[in-house]
Amino acid sequence: MHPISAETEFNIPRQSLTEIFLRFLKFGFLAWGGPVAQIAMLRQELVEEENWISPEKFNRVLSVYQVLPGPEATELCVYFGMLARGRIGALLAGLGFGLPGFLLMLALSWFYLSYGITSPLFQSVFAGMQPAVAALIVRAVHRIGSHALHADRWLWGIAFVAGLAHLLRVNFLLTLLAAGFVYAFAKQNRNVPAILLAILFSGWIALSNLSGMQLMQADQASPSVLAKPASLLSLLWSGLRTGLLTFGGAYTAIPFLQRDAVEIGRWMTNTQFLDGLALSGLLPAPLIIFSTFVGYVGGGPWGAIIITGAVFAPAFAFTMIGHDYLERLINNQSAHAFLDGVTAGVVGLISATALGILSETVVGIHPWIIFSVALIALFVSKAKWIVAAVVLAAGLYGMIFL
């Protein structure tokens, strides 16, 4: 186990390896609503209720993982496992968190290719769960934003511009780096460089809007003729490259995998790819679990296992190999302002994501009923199983009324 200084350790309990695996397996079963809801869940239990680390340190840890490639919720689980029992604890925490979603996506991939999702019953449940998932994300944005933005006008401004950048399809990494440097300058009372950088970034947003529209048109021209199934080696390479190039969350993995699977490899259609994305958004798993679906379509069960392992490998490696370096970065006082700015940028990104999901899923009277009731339940209830209860109840409502 890596040594942890008295400054960085807060109140980390001693747990057996079995207890660690089972605890993060529980988190995996409750991981509905995508990365925003998952991060909020980890924060509520491990930081707010059990005080493993301070809320301030949690924000900075999250900021570091937002800059690094990989799914942040999985990386946080690996991080907490590392704090508890070293590398073995990190491995078990990450595996426990990812296992439920992987097995469910594997089963759904088999069902999709065998029977499709045209069953009226399946479609009704699917339609009922979507507004509930949107409510989970809105609640998580409120919870994370209330801790990260404080009453600082710079942080609020950074969050707003970052959200706008996301809506205009600006690269995640560029947005987060700009957010960190702007706030670092501002905290040093260097307002002129901070304002100039903010203006330059805003200009970049305007230019990126034009290029983003061109990219969307190019995506729509993807080939529809399928080639032969993918080789396991190509799936391994595609997964590793995606895992290493995915900055700022799982959403940035979409263009990499889509290009490999739809445009170059052509082992699946764009419609199938989007169906996989939709299915992953309803599972208790990081959104990047849609890579399991991509691998299954390309190479069956072994293809699903190989590409999933390759995509998640960097998320485990950064903490299990570089934990001490990450801790030094997190505890470096000079880096705190930069990381606080990155955190504000993250709030803007996930807020924009929530808006996009709301506009697509909460349409019509029944979706609004599901969304409203789910949101009220999530704000009022403190029960640990409220997330699973809300999603399952929404699916039942959809099965009856939709």
**Which helix (H) or strand (E) element contains residue 324?**
helix 290-330
Distances (CA, A) of 382 to 30, 35, 387: 14, 20, 10
Residue 250: what pLDDT? Answer: 62
CB atoms within 10 A of CB 156: 16
Q: How far is CA 8 from the centre of its chain?
A: 25
| pLDDT at residue 220 greater than cutoff 50 | no
Query: What mean pLDDT do residues 59-68 have?
Result: 80
Percent of the chain with pLDDT over 70: 84
**Res 192: pLDDT:** 72
**Looking at residue 16, what DSSP letter applies?**
-
pLDDT recorded at residue 222: 43
> pLDDT tens digit string along 111-135?
888 876 667 877 788 788 888 878 8
Work out the angle at residue 78's Cα, subtended by the Cα atoms of residues 77 and 79, and round it to the nearest 5 degrees: 90
pLDDT of 74-124, one tens digit each? Answer: 999 999 999 999 999 999 999 999 999 999 999 999 988 887 666 787 778
- Stretch 287-299: mean pLDDT: 91
Cα 152 to its chain centre, rounded Å, is 26
Locate 201 and state its tokens.
């970034």
